[in-house]
Amino acid sequence: MKKNIAVYPGSFDPITYGHLDILKRGLELFDKIIVAVAYNVDKRALFTVKERMELIRESIKGNSHVEVDSFEGLLVDYVKKVNARFVIRGLRAMSDFENEFQMASMNRNLNKDMDTIFMMTSKDYFFISSRTIKEVASFNGCVSGLVPEIVDKKLKEKFAKK
């Protein structure tokens, strides 16, 4: 097992500067990070998995240390498949903690070799979530400076069609 690969899983619906900040800081710890978009049956997504992956690709601007992928099913199985040992998750407020703690503990129960590394959100991004970005954008509010330009553009296109 290589120690230098980490998986950064999530919905990324869509990717924000909060996600990108965690990714950038994660690259200080790992040689390669796989951003893995989850097919989530519970959440109603605005962007398709393919669109989300494309937006991530455009946002990382060809960084060769980042790979973009998607996965279905259990995260532990995906992590094993790509031969990784670490998972990165970002932590915003206390509300994130409970859920993340539960997930990390369950994953560790399923695979003792896997560890979740938590990175604290930066002060400039603690209030950003994909959900609030979508909400603001749906009412034509300004989200520039919170998401990459391409995401801002695609959000405008999506909501113009609705």
Annotated catalytic sites, by residue?
19, 43, 92, 130
Crossing angle for the helix pair 17-26 and 49-60, to the nearest 10 degrees: 60
89 near ligand ADP, judged by CB under 6 A: yes
User: Among residues 98 and 160, whose Cβ is nearest to ligand ADP?
Assistant: 98
CB of residue 119 vs ligand ADP: minimum separation in angstroms? 7
**Rounded CA gap, 55 and 97, in Å?**
27
From the list 68-76, 104-112, 126-134, 150-158, the region that binds ligand ADP by CB under 6 A is 126-134
11 near ligand ADP, judged by CB under 6 A: yes
- Residues 101 and 107: beta-carbon distance below 8 Å: no
User: Among residues 85 and 100, whose Cβ is nearest to ligand ADP?
Assistant: 100
CB of residue 156 vs ligand ADP: minimum separation in angstroms? 20
70 near ligand ADP, judged by CB under 6 A: no
Angle at Cα 120 formed by Cα 59 and Cα 108, nearest 5°?
95
129 near ligand ADP, judged by CB under 6 A: yes
Side-by-side strand order, sheet with 86-91: 66-71, 32-38, 5-10, 86-91, 115-120
Q: Please report the beta strands in 11-142, taking only residues with DSSP state E, as ranges in sequence order.
A: 32-38, 66-71, 86-91, 115-120
The residues of the shown chain that bind ligand ADP, judged by CB under 6 A, are 10-12, 16, 18-19, 22, 89-90, 92, 96, 121, 125, 128-130
